Amino acid sequence: MSTPVEGVVVLVHMWQNLFWNAALLAVERTQRCIPLFQIWHFVCQESKMSSKPSQDLASISRSIARAGLVIVIGRIMARILGLVRVSIIASIFGRSLDMDAYTAAWAIPNIIYDLLLNGVLVAVLVTVLSEYADGEPRAFSHVVSSLINLVLVTLGLLVVLLIWQAPLVARFVVQSSRPELYLQTIYLIRILLPATFFLCLSGLMMAILYARGNFVLPTFAGVIFNAAIAVSVLGLHERLGIASIAVGVTIGGLAQLILQLPAVSGIHYQLLLDLGHSAIRRILRLYAPLILGIIFSVIGLSIDRWLASGFPSGLATMQYAFTLFYFPLGLVATPIALAILPTLARESARGDNAAFRATLALGLKVALLLILPITVGLAVLAQPITALILQYGVFVERDTHATAEAMLYYAPGLPAATIGQILLFACFARRETLLPSLLQGLAILLYLFTAFLLLRCSCHRKWCAGLSRTMSLSARRGA
């Protein structure tokens, strides 16, 4: 069975979500009306013609629907392959110390990617790049070359520094009281860090393609990534052990990049770094408030890893449980948020607050209609779902029990997390980025307070379960 700390860390994660969602409800009442509809440019290139009176709106709707269908299919395929990847990893490595070490080490390249090319930051890039994508090719190439070189220079400095200081970095995600775990984490951090070059460049290519109206290849990049990791683990685990996952990450990142390169033909790469260009300055200005929120998220992630690392199999158990928890979230919350984003942005631009509220309410109702039955299903069927997906090879029944119990702690937070993602996109539709970042900082402070309080007080699994039910009730009331 899982230890109390696994439930505690999951519960404080949920508590953070509840605070975050309640605070974001205030944003919906703001009166700012600054457009952000350019983000939707990546979904339908024809939208640039929407200013023409003769434009056939039905044709635009069909184009958006087709684009949305391709995106949903790509997401579903990537999610399913992601579950297959996790199932393969679980069957070979289970909840071992090696898996704990990999979970902790993977947090570092993940943090770098979030800081440089998080999904929200890609939206910022698309907003600016879309203004140049259909203009003079030389100007677009100039901006893209500057961005690529800026990312390469920043990545180069970060990767070299972090490889050199890997022992110090590891102390932020694992407790040094477990020396074997600590040393294995250092080893894996150094193997994984070079992969960030491919991952970040692939993310940048994704933004460029979105800006040019090409969404097919980026959508299916996740499929290639998950497939590469699965194949690498199956073929190399006997020879490389846990490092086979890291090799798969590197191959997957490179494959994503290669997949997207043909679609950026026509862009002439140049060795230049024009930080004074107006587009680069705008991107950096838009990045600033978003980076603040991402830094707060990074702090929360580091605390998660550090707390869980103090207990055997804590990191691996939470990672498996979170993967199962996140699967429905990615299939429900993100597509609905993307679907209502362009409408919210246009209504915000017109100053039509009544329509904005109505659209947002509709999105929330649809999301809750879908996610509430899924939440009940996850809670009731946690054990058989976990067994069906993960219980193979070395992942035995006791591992299933521990992971299912951790997922039970996560499940009540699913509606709150869904609402939070939709409200966050509503903030972007009003171009409100600073307030969500500040609220994220307050949420992290609450997270810290709650985490250490519960770690002191929770010595009983039943107490944790009771608190989980209380927080689930709070989430329903907040929604």
The mean pLDDT of 87-108, rounded to a whole number, is 93
- Identify residue 465 by its one-letter amino acid code: A
Q: Is the pLDDT of residue 125 over 70?
A: yes
Q: Is the pLDDT of residue 466 over 60?
A: no
Token digits of residue 45: 């290139």
Q: How do residues 183-235 score in pLDDT, each as one tens digit?
A: 999 999 999 999 998 998 888 888 888 777 777 777 788 889 999 999 999 99
* pLDDT value at residue 477: 33
Band (pLDDT 50/70/90 cuts) for residue 300 is confident
| Torsion angle of C-alpha atoms 351, 354, 359, 363, degrees rounded to 10 | 120
Question: 37-41, 145-149, 252-256, 259-263 — which is least confidently predicted?
Answer: 37-41
* pLDDT value at residue 385: 92
Band (pLDDT 50/70/90 cuts) for residue 69 is low
- Check if the beta carbon of residue 20 is closer than 8 Å to that of residue 439: yes
Number of C-beta neighbours around residue 462 at 10 A: 7
The mean pLDDT of 20-39, rounded to a whole number, is 37
In whole angstroms, give the CA distance from residue 420 to residue 178. 36
Question: 113-127, 167-181, 260-274, 341-355 — which is least confidently predicted?
Answer: 113-127
Give the DSSP letter string of 258-284. Answer: HHHGGGGTT----S---TTSHHHHHHH
Band (pLDDT 50/70/90 cuts) for residue 242 is very high
Q: Is the pLDDT of residue 338 over 50?
A: yes
Token digits of residue 280: 């680069």
Band (pLDDT 50/70/90 cuts) for residue 15 is very low
- What residues have CB less than 8 Å from 178, skipping those under 6 apart? 309, 310
Closest CA to 93 of 194, 229, 225: 229
Over its C-alpha atoms, the chain yields an Rg (Å, rounded) of: 22
Three-state SS letters, 186-229: HHHHHHHCCHHHHHHHHHHHHHHHHHCCCCHHHHHHHHHHHHHH
Band (pLDDT 50/70/90 cuts) for residue 134 is confident
- Mean of all residue pLDDT scores within the chain: 76
* pLDDT value at residue 88: 95
Regarding predicted confidence, which is higher, 273 or 135? Answer: 273
In whole angstroms, give the CA distance from residue 234 to residue 13. 33
- Check if the beta carbon of residue 341 is closer than 8 Å to that of residue 119: no
In whole angstroms, give the CA distance from residue 324 to residue 153. 36
- Identify residue 121 by its one-letter amino acid code: L
Q: What is the DSSP letter of 361?
A: H
- Check if the beta carbon of residue 245 is closer than 8 Å to that of residue 232: yes
| C-alpha dihedral sign at 28, 30, 31, 35 | negative
Closest CA to 404 of 391, 416, 417, 392: 391
Regarding predicted confidence, which is higher, 242 or 431? Answer: 242
In whole angstroms, give the CA distance from residue 392 to residue 401. 14
> Three-class SS of residue 176?
coil
Closest CA to 359 of 217, 122, 367: 367
* pLDDT value at residue 350: 81
Band (pLDDT 50/70/90 cuts) for residue 473 is very low
* pLDDT value at residue 255: 92
* pLDDT value at residue 414: 86
- What residues have CB less than 8 Å from 58, skipping those under 6 apart? none
In whole angstroms, give the CA distance from residue 360 to residue 341. 9
